[in-house]
Amino acid sequence: MRAGLLRGVPDGLTRRARGFVGTHGATVDVRPVESHRQWWLERDVPAAVIDRMAAYQQRWGGLLLPPAPQYDGGPRYLDPDAPEGSDSEGWWFEAGTQRTAVPYSFMIGPSGEFGIHANRWVPLHATVEGWVESLALAHHASLWARQITTLVGDDADGVERDGYEPVAEVRGLADTWWRGADSLVALYTGEAEALDFPRGRVAVIYSGLDDWGLRGGG
C-alpha cells in the first residue's frame, strides 16, 4: 500500500467536511474493480452490482482518513470488495477493510447505506457522505468543545435532547448527531444492534461550543 497526496475531494460534502478531507485525507493505490469483473460474474454476482462497486471506487476508492472515534477507527481506507447477497434480499459489498480487529465488516448496503455487518446488517448512515460528515464533525467538535463527556450503555439512553435538532448532513440511521444551544451530541448504537450488546451504546457530548463550534462550515 502506497499513500499519496489526495487527488481530489469528492463533491456533495459540506464546507466543513471538504476541509477535513482536503486537509487530513490521503489516497492509497487500489486495484481496479474491473480486474475482478469476470471472476465475480462467473460466481453469479450481477453486473449491476459490479457497476455499483465500480462507481463507489471511482468516487471513494483509496481514500484514507484519520481514525473514527468509534468502531475502532473504521475502515483503513475506502475501497470495495467481497460482494454478497441475492436478488431477493439485495446485495452488499465491503466498504473497506477493518483498521483493527473488530468482529464485523464495514459494508455498503443495497441502497447505498454505510454500515456494519456482524450478526445482522446495521446501516449507520444513509450514505457514505454521511459517514464522512460524521468523521469531520467529530474532529471539529473535539477541537472546539470546552468539555467532552462519554456515556456508555444505559447511561447513554438518558442523554437529554429536548431543544436539540438532528444534524441532517450526517444522514444518521443507527448513529445520529444532535445540535443544541451550546453543545453537540453524537449517539452511536451500531455495535449494540449488530452484536446484541447493549453496552455498545455510546453517547459523546461536546459542551461549551460557540456558533462556530456548533456548525463550523456545515
Each residue's pLDDT tens digit, 35-88: 999 999 999 999 999 999 999 999 999 999 999 999 999 999 999 999 999 989
Q: Are 20 and 141 in contact (CB under 8 A)?
A: no
Cβ-based neighbour number of residue 16 at 10 Å: 18
DSSP-derived 3-state class of residue 141: helix
- What pLDDT score was predicted for residue 162? 87
204-213 pLDDT, tens digit per residue, is 999 999 999 9
pTM to 2 decimals? 0.94
Which amino acid is residue 71, in one-letter code? Y
